[in-house]
Structure 1
């Protein structure tokens, strides 16, 4: 188990002295498509880019699920939705090419660094804008052959350092606020996140273990609250059926409401899934559970009181180990 830190900071953007080689008034494009946890981890780099170009126009190219969240961050002047056209959709690719070139970007920060986003480099006419990423031939490559073995936070910080931005702050989620009066919350509660990607069941701790954990929490006067979408209803309902003192917020919470709940929760336990990144980033004492299907060294949530446990098969992770880790977090 490890603990990491990353204090929250105000969302206001101070105008800092220009960095060497950085045009503070540049027209900038930031590319970040998904997934939810990666978007949360990228908020620090996004803020660093905004601070580096305080007088410029910063545009974000993202996917629809995260547009509202990232617009609320206040870090961007404009947000474009990328429909991610396939290679055979020549008309859609042509429209994207025209839009990219007509915007007159001076610099691009590719925080997705996927095959797709790297291909976008070739959509620009020559001379192409300065480009931070891994696209072959780009002006500011992240030239570290070990980049795939770095945690996302350190990898993106090093990428930006190689592009002339030496400091990356922790993710700032102070913009995510919500009124929780309609939830009728108990005095003391814990958040449980038993869901995750449906196509990767090996990343889920079994519902019966969550139910036993919920019982142990309830016995201590800490009401378990289950979070998740309608697609995760089976896991959530299995827990609430086994432990009737648990509450289900299935399908009821926005990103802002999850953040607000996390700020008030005594502790949170969940699988390696996006909401745990948000919960950890706002400072909730949190425990993320990993199987052999993902590596916490590379992808774990970061936050001032974030921790993790890993078992090759999550079904083999004992409730006693999780309970011990929860007690440690409650004692912080």
Structure 2
């Protein structure tokens, strides 16, 4: 039976977009054992992907080399007898452990001059594979073989037991309809819809009788407080849940409204009705992978710029995206 190790991405959204690759590998190799090496914070995602046999935590912070630690971990991976390792991050560092492990086939895109570290390197044609999910999934095929289309959507499996445990712990009323808002975006403020706009949307929905919950990390505290200032009845879960609990709780949502972020991809993989807001980024590259999603964007001449901070200092792509337009998209699901 074939054994494959995946060096998985560190970002939540990218980790979810890798799942179609895992599904395709199982199709190609019946009886496959598929393990994942990834940052510890992505473990709740991998635990909800039935394709993964086991998940191992990487002890590296962002940008850390730690050659000795990589060597030691590589020796542990070597003992597990993998036939192939597929490296999803494009960095040079991410290819070191596969080299040290001595795994026979080391697959990945060329990335940061990784010739010699990987021995099954692929040259990316960005026009043939415009989406991130396609670039991951293509690595399931042999070199020079086309991507199998259509690429399936990711799916996170949430058990009723997990949902009930999380809702009970947080004192959440599961009988009252809930709208989830995800106001953060790790990449930067040019991807965040203004807190005042989100507060106006939240208050309208609260006035209609919905529970409105905001989800995010401690890094989203500033925009969460801005929303609470405009809509104090919002239920604030920003920084107050684990990622596992956020996944469980978002599965209750009637609709999720989210910036282009990791939690947007979580909502898509939970197959919740999703309104995805785009400003500086592009739905052509990282769209919500769901048949149950609506993209709302102004599509201005200056966007997408892919910058963390608006280079024109006006952020019109999101500031001019009025709450009523987003409410119309929400209503299209509620009706």
Same fold (TM over 0.5): yes
2:190 aligns with 202
RMSD: 2.9
2:323 aligns with 319
Q: Which one is further off, 204-213 or 143-152? A: 143-152
Provide the rounded CA distance (Å) in 2 between the counterparts of 1:304 and 1:259.
19
Give ranges in structure 1 of 5+ residues lacking alignment: 1-24
Matches within 5 A, 1:116-265: 116-125=93-102, 129-135=104-110, 136=115, 138=118, 140-146=120-126, 150-162=130-142, 166=148, 169-176=152-159, 177-179=162-164, 180-181=167-168, 182-185=171-174, 187-197=176-186, 200-265=188-253
Provide the rounded CA distance (Å) in 2 between the counterparts of 1:290 and 1:149.
21
Give ranges in structure 2 of 5+ residues lacking alignment: 304-314
With structure 2 as the length reference, what TM-score do the two structures score? 0.78
Provide the rounded CA distance (Å) in 2 between the counterparts of 1:308 and 1:72.
26
Q: What is the aligned counterpart of 1:108 among 64, 85, 93?
A: 85
1:317: how far off?
A: 1.7
Question: Contact 1:280/1:303 (CA < 8 Å) preserved in 2?
Answer: yes
Residues 39 and 263 from structure 1, CA distance in 2 versus in 1: closer, same or farther, beyond 3 angstroms?
A: same
Q: Which one is further off, 233-242 or 277-286? A: 233-242
Provide the rounded CA distance (Å) in 2 between the counterparts of 1:286 and 1:32.
25
Residues 116 and 299 from structure 1, CA distance in 2 versus in 1: closer, same or farther, beyond 3 angstroms?
A: farther
Provide the rounded CA distance (Å) in 1 between the counterparts of 2:91 and 2:179.
36
Instruction: Give the structure, 1 or 2, with the largest relative contact order (CA under 8 Å, sep 6 or more).
Output: 1
Question: Contact 1:178/1:256 (CA < 8 Å) preserved in 2?
Answer: no
Aligned pair count reads: 303
With structure 1 as the length reference, what TM-score do the two structures score? 0.79
